[in-house]
Amino acid sequence: MTKVGIMGAGRLGTIIAEAIKAGLAPECELIGIASRSLGVTPFDLADRGAAVIIEASKPEVLREYLVGLLERGVSVIPLSTGAFADEGFLEEVKEAARRGGSRVYLPHGAEGGFDLAATFSLLPGMKGTVVQYIPERAKMPDGNPMKALPESFKGTALEGFALSPSHLNVVIESAIACGGFENTMYETRIARDGRGGFSLELENDAAEAVITIKNKPPVKGIPMMSMIALSAVSTLNRITQPVTF
Ligand SMILES: NC(=O)c1ccc[n+]([C@@H]2O[C@H](COP(=O)([O-])OP(=O)(O)OC[C@H]3O[C@@H](n4cnc5c(N)ncnc54)[C@H](O)[C@@H]3O)[C@@H](O)[C@H]2O)c1
């Protein structure tokens, strides 16, 4: 069994912990959750033998611990991937992983299709576009971060991310999957069907693809947040199960 720890027990971290406890990551055992209130740090989880830590806290916390964890040989599945918009930090992280023999595994978060994006990026002419569908503002509850986004924006991944760094982690992880910030764009479009979501549009000199994920109205109380949280659990399965893809 692979020993797993969690950093951050808020909305996503709680769903992830419950999923692992319910057996959705059958090759893994949850050994602890880092918590400021209990005085447990991610390094304590490493000392207890965690081989993988799932991060669901915030970008500043990821920045504080990631390099140290990787150097200790602990692999990390980060959700606060906006931290990698700083390319200098991303390079530091790669070096730390090489030194520690560990890895950073990016989950697909709110989007998908990273395996296909990685293949597309191996051929000339690669261009990736993250499209965010924005429902009509009047129908969005107050406090929804999408309310602050422009309805028809087009720019580079980093320009898009700058519009709302706390909510556009997905743009950064997609850009890494697409092979770099320079060939990845971000666009917003009005959701004519009223449902928020994302498409990842891929193109190179050989092919084109579009992978779309759209919110359903919550059925049986399952919010879209569960899909994002479970992307970390499916990533855990991908790196621990005997037959993987
Ligand atoms: N990659 C994606 O597609 C995606 C999608 C949604 C959210 N996110 C990101 O995932 C992260 C978690 O989201 P959330 O909605 O669960 O947030 P949340 O605010 O509900 O939970 C964050 C938790 O981290 C804890 N925390 C803060 N500092 C800590 C520390 N030093 N040690 C341990 N725990 C600490 C907080 O107490 C809180 O419980 C955020 O950074 C969010 O932006 C990523």
Domains of the chain: 2-105+225-240 (3.40.50.720), 114-214 (3.30.360.10)
Q: Verify whether ligand 1 is closer than 6 Å to residue 109 (CB atom).
A: yes
- Distance between CA atoms of residues 103 and 111, nearest Å: 21
pLDDT of 13 above 90? yes
- Per-residue pLDDT tens for 123-154? 999 999 999 999 877 667 777 777 778 888 99
Protein residue whose Cα sits closest to atom 20 of ligand 1: 10
Q: What is the mean pLDDT of the chain?
A: 93
Atom of ligand 1 at shortest distance to CA of 107? 1
User: How much is the average pLDDT of 11-33?
Assistant: 97
Is the pLDDT score of 50 beyond 90? Answer: yes
Residue 115 region, left (φ>0) first, then alpha (ψ -120 to 50), else beta?
alpha
Please name the helix (run of DSSP H) or strand (run of DSSP E) that holds residue 166, with its range, or none: none
C-alpha dihedral over 132, 138, 142, 144, to 10 degrees? -10
* Arithmetic mean of pLDDT, 18-44: 96
- The residue to mutate among 44, 57, 171, 233, having the most atoms of ligand 1 within 8 angstroms of its beta carbon, is 57
Question: For residue 198, how far is its CA from the centre of ligand 1 (angstroms)?
Answer: 21
**What atom of ligand 1 comes closest to residue 81's alpha carbon?**
1
Q: What is the pLDDT of residue 138?
A: 65
Cβ partners under 8 Å of residue 107, min gap 6: 77, 79, 173, 231, 232, 234, 235
pLDDT for 232 = 98
Confidence at residue 219, expressed as pLDDT on a 0 to 100 scale: 64
Mean pLDDT confidence for 1-24? 96
Task: Please give the number of the atom of ligand 1 that sits closest to the Cα of 58.
Answer: 41
Least reliable range by pLDDT among 5-19, 57-71, 183-197: 183-197
Q: What 8-state DSSP symbol labels residue 124? A: T
- Considering the chain, what percentage of its residues have pLDDT values greater than 90? 81
Nearest CA to ligand 1 atom 35: 8
Asked if residue 71 lies in contact with residue 42, where contact means CB atoms within 8 angstroms, the answer is: no
Cα–ligand 1 centroid distance for 12 (angstroms): 7
160 C-beta closer than 6 A to ligand 1: no
pLDDT of 157 reads 96
Kindly give the number of the ligand 1 atom that is closest to the alpha carbon of 57: 24
Q: Is 17 in the pocket of ligand 1 (CB under 6 A)?
A: no
Using the 8-state DSSP alphabet, how is residue 79 labeled? S
CB of 79 within 6 A of ligand 1: the answer is: yes
